[in-house]
Structure 1
Amino acid sequence: MNFIISIFQRIFADNMGIKNIIQVLSLLISVAVFSQKSTPKKAPVKKKVIVAKENTVLPVINEDLPLLIPKKKDGNFGYVDQKGRFVIKPEYHIAVFFYEDCNLLNAPDEKLRKFGTADYATVEKDEISYRVDKKGKRVYRFRQEDLGKCVHKEYTQQLYQAYVLNGFYGIIEKATFKDPADYRQFQIYPQYDYLFILEGDDVANPMIIASKNNMFGVIDVHNRIIIPFEYDDIKRNFSWKLGKMFDVSKDGKNYYYIDSKNRTY
């Protein structure tokens, strides 16, 4: 700008003609345009792009087992994968297998019904129940007004039942058993201190909690030992039906899950 002012001062000081003034102005405009084109442009700042990591695929060691298994640590439940690594941190008083919730499946609000599918599990913390997804996110908090009525499903009649003879437990097939004096009519002749047939999908081959010499194990209807008699207790719950696992304890206080190969989780 100072350069241009000095040129004008010189023009008027020298009393230059109009023609010369026009030439000088043309020169100044050319210089100004050239200087604008020559000004270096700042390089655009590249924004840092953060690419989210892909979801970790849960390992599959046993195809019969759930991908996530409830596990207790320091007094609270979380979920581990089939390798025993925590995927959902232990912070819940109660945590059950990922399984359908029929009340939510029949919720009056159709938008809530998806939370009743087996993609979610029910947990409880501070006496509040939630449904969580497989990443551990709480996606729904239970409210009584949200719950519908479970649709009645036809009960699958069990083929076998426990039978007590002379203080010992055996197994009979209900449809064919008639004479307890005929040992051949017993599926398993009474020889155990206690037997309990677990609820399951395969009624022809149920898992049976058995007690002998004050220790618990699991047998099948052919009297084959599935889980050795080394446990102080095995819970009579739905862990076999929901997760193909057994809820066991060696001290009657601390419980954990094992699979049908006696592997601990």
Structure 2
Amino acid sequence: MKIALVTGGSRGLGKSMCQHLARKGRDIVLTYREKEAQAKAVVADIEAMGRKAVALPLDVSRSAGFAAFATALGQALRETFGREDFDFLVNNAGYGAHAPFDATTEDQFDQMVDVHFKAAFFLTQALLPLLRDGGRIVNVSSGLTRFSYPGYAAYAAAKGAVEVLSRYLAQELGPRRIAVNVLAPGAIATDFGGGQVRDNADVNAFIASQTALGRVGLPDDIGGALSLLLDDDAGWINGQRLEVSGGIHL
């Protein structure tokens, strides 16, 4: 059976990704930063589907910990799955920072770069020895790299860097037959950005009015799209950006 590693898999989009992949017959390694109980609950959900799963702690903002995480992952692969490698890497973990451009601090900027861009770069680098030839990488970006909402300059710029990185990875990892793609969610009803899309009725209605399908996105919209990208029949998709937004700002 194929194994997917999903960073930030204990909640929100990552949780939905793990559940959808498990329904498609994938075994799961998920990471969490603080909420171990939530992570274990996701593991229990996946095991109830008849799949294997393990949750490992990881702070993607601290690249100094990536080598130790790779060691822990290798041990988990052997002990839980009887494997020395895994098949799919999903760089999902992250959060948004909302601040006007002229009020964005250097610390906020550095956090966005560390969590989104630097993590995707150096965590992928650290895990390449464990990712099997012919495997796949999906880097999670944002619809905000195509359209602009005030207050997300640092976040969107970091995600834009992830999209460029993904094309380079697709090229450089081609000799190992590793496909690399970008999944770019639109506005989703989660706790992202303080839960504005989910909890603010005016924001929710405005985004729905700008979306061709007439509503905001839900976590399962993204989990389902990811499972399609990692389907056995999708292996020839490479170096692409797939926006999953219901057709916002067309």
Greater RCO (CA < 8 Å, at least 6 residues apart)? 2
> What band does the TM-score fall into relative to the shorter chain?
under 0.3
How high is the TM-score relative to the length of structure 1?
Answer: 0.25
Between structures 1 and 2, the one with greater strand share? 1
Q: Which has the larger radius of gyration?
A: 1
How high is the TM-score relative to the length of structure 2?
Answer: 0.26
Between structures 1 and 2, the one with greater helix share? 2
